Amino acid sequence: MTATAAAPTTSASRTPQQIWHRVRGLLLAVLILVVAGVAIAAARSGGQHGRLDPRSADPHGSRAVAELLKDRGVSVDIATTLDEATGAAGPDTTLLVAGPNMLTAHQQRRLYAATADSAGRTVLIAPGSPSVARLAPGVHAESHGPVAALTPRCELPAARAAGTADMGGIHYASAARGTTACYPDDDGHASLLVLPGQGAGDTVLLGSPDLLYNDRLDQQGNASLSLQLLGSHPHLVWYLPSLDDPSAAQGGRGSQDDSSDDGAEGESGFISLIPSGWLWGTLQLALAAVLAAIWRGRRFGPLVTERLPVAIRASESVEGRARLYRKADARDRAADSLRSATRTRVSPLLGVSPRDADSPAVLLPAVAARLSKPGTDLGLLLFGPAPADDAALVLLTDQLDALEREVRTS
């Protein structure tokens, strides 16, 4: 029986332990990302429906006000598409739009067309400037302010009965006749605006959703104001806009675009289809990548020589440089150094000047003349390409060493 000889290992070959030390940091980071993703997905799937959701008992949910409205005889239905919301609008219905800024320009125009002549009530939660221009023409969104306990200072019966409430956020101003402005700031801009509709209904603009949250409903007059604004009709439709609504793809760009884009309603850009949260996330990842590059690129400018304070053994210097070459996979630099050193040492033995040591036309004939029977391709050995792997680099070292010994002994 003959035993199969195992492939010899060299000092340039990485051991499994060295490979593990190099990749364990990356594997740990990937594991943390996977665990974090699973944890977030599990947390979100545990019955939490998000902000202003009448099914959510979270601090920023609105289940408490929905249950109070049901106790008062108001039916509460949830709509997640524009078709459901506009189809439910009617004279005995209050339509609450929880996220008007999520609607596209086309959706906002459809919503306004369906509610402008309605005899019911439309409640818009914190619409921004582009949204206000389409959902409540004639109203201007002014400065943002903090949410605080404010007094109504208006003649609206619901506000006067509720008294102080947690109001603020976006403030609105309108010169339309019949508009009622409540909870104003120092400049007179209101965080609660009631606009008369073209029919018998009206539109309510709330600058902040805080008074509808579960954790704020029992503070100030938030509960009273919420119930009166949302319970004025026997039926309440709670519209929660969603990104997968088919109507969002029918009219082009979203509400974050400028109103001057109305003529391009039929066109849709790729960027406009990406939620703003993903854009911010991409920007943060790009910033993190730049910071990581700066952290990794610790050397700036050209290398400079420095006089060492102590003498270092030649063997230690060679070993240290070899480790650096190995860490950087710089087999080409290592091979060039080995070949250059061999050419420098053998050229005086062959009568070749140091200036011509790197010239193949001068050095190769001199080496061939010294050797009786060249066993290898001298040009490939002394001036060839970089080795393909570590084993080839070790073989090149052995061949160069053998060539130098042969030249010295011949």
pLDDT tens readout for residues 343-355: 999 888 888 888 8
Residue, of 24 and 102, whose pLDDT is higher: 102
Q: Is the pLDDT of residue 46 over 70?
A: no
Amino acid at 344: T
| Tens digits of residue pLDDT in 79-117 | 999 999 988 888 889 999 998 998 998 999 999 988 888
Instruction: Report the pLDDT value the prediction gives residue 274, as an integer from 0 to 100.
Output: 62
Q: How confident is residue 283, by pLDDT bands cut at 50, 70 and 90?
A: confident
Question: At residue 203, what are phi and psi to the nearest 5 degrees?
Answer: -125, 130
Amino acid at 325: Y
What whole-number distance in Å separates Cα of residue 381 and Cα of residue 363?
A: 12
What whole-number distance in Å separates Cα of residue 276 and Cα of residue 102?
A: 10
Chain centroid to CA 236: 37
Domains and CATH numbers, the chain: 63-250 (3.40.50), 315-409 (no CATH)
Instruction: Report the pLDDT value the prediction gives residue 259, as an integer from 0 to 100.
Output: 40
Instruction: Report the pLDDT value the prediction gives residue 48, as an integer from 0 to 100.
Output: 45
| Tens digits of residue pLDDT in 124-180 | 999 998 899 899 988 989 878 889 999 999 999 999 999 999 998 999 988 888 889
Q: Bridge-partner residues for 202, per DSSP?
A: 121, 196
Amino acid at 131: S
What whole-number distance in Å separates Cα of residue 336 and Cα of residue 241?
A: 65
Helices (H), 264-409: 276-296, 314-327, 331-349, 360-370, 378-383, 390-409
Q: How confident is residue 7, by pLDDT bands cut at 50, 70 and 90?
A: very low
The SS3 assignment for 171 reads strand
Q: How confident is residue 66, by pLDDT bands cut at 50, 70 and 90?
A: very high
User: What mean pLDDT comes out for the span 52-60?
Assistant: 90
User: What mean pLDDT comes out for the span 56-85?
Assistant: 92
Instruction: Report the pLDDT value the prediction gives residue 176, as an integer from 0 to 100.
Output: 83
Residue, of 13 and 385, whose pLDDT is higher: 385
Q: Bridge-partner residues for 166, per DSSP?
A: 149
Q: Bridge-partner residues for 193, per DSSP?
A: 181, 205
Residue, of 93 and 36, whose pLDDT is higher: 93
Q: How confident is residue 225, by pLDDT bands cut at 50, 70 and 90?
A: very high
Amino acid at 109: R
Tokens of residue 346, six digits: 């053998």
Instruction: Report the pLDDT value the prediction gives residue 301, as an integer from 0 to 100.
Output: 62
Q: Bridge-partner residues for 75, per DSSP?
A: 235
User: What mean pLDDT comes out for the span 217-222?
Assistant: 91
Q: Is the pLDDT of residue 374 over 70?
A: no
User: What mean pLDDT comes out for the span 364-392?
Assistant: 84
Q: How confident is residue 272, by pLDDT bands cut at 50, 70 and 90?
A: low
Q: Bridge-partner residues for 246, per DSSP?
A: none
What whole-number distance in Å separates Cα of residue 338 and Cα of residue 112?
A: 79
Judge contact between 254 and 272, C-beta under 8 A: yes
Tokens of residue 144, six digits: 């943002």
Instruction: Report the pLDDT value the prediction gives residue 289, as an integer from 0 to 100.
Output: 87
Q: Is the pLDDT of residue 275 over 70?
A: no
| Tens digits of residue pLDDT in 234-252 | 999 999 998 788 887 776 4
Q: Is the pLDDT of residue 206 over 90?
A: yes
Residue, of 219 and 189, whose pLDDT is higher: 219
Whole-model pTM above 0.85?
Answer: no
- How far are the Cα atoms of 81, 97, 121 from residue 241, in angstroms, in the given order? 6, 8, 18
Instruction: Report the pLDDT value the prediction gives residue 125, as an integer from 0 to 100.
Output: 94
Dihedral (Cα; 352, 356, 359, 362), 10-degree rounding? -40
| Tens digits of residue pLDDT in 289-337 | 888 887 776 666 666 777 767 777 888 888 888 888 888 888 898 899 8
Closest by CA to 225, choosing from 169, 152, 135, is 152
Q: What is the mean pLDDT of the chain?
A: 82
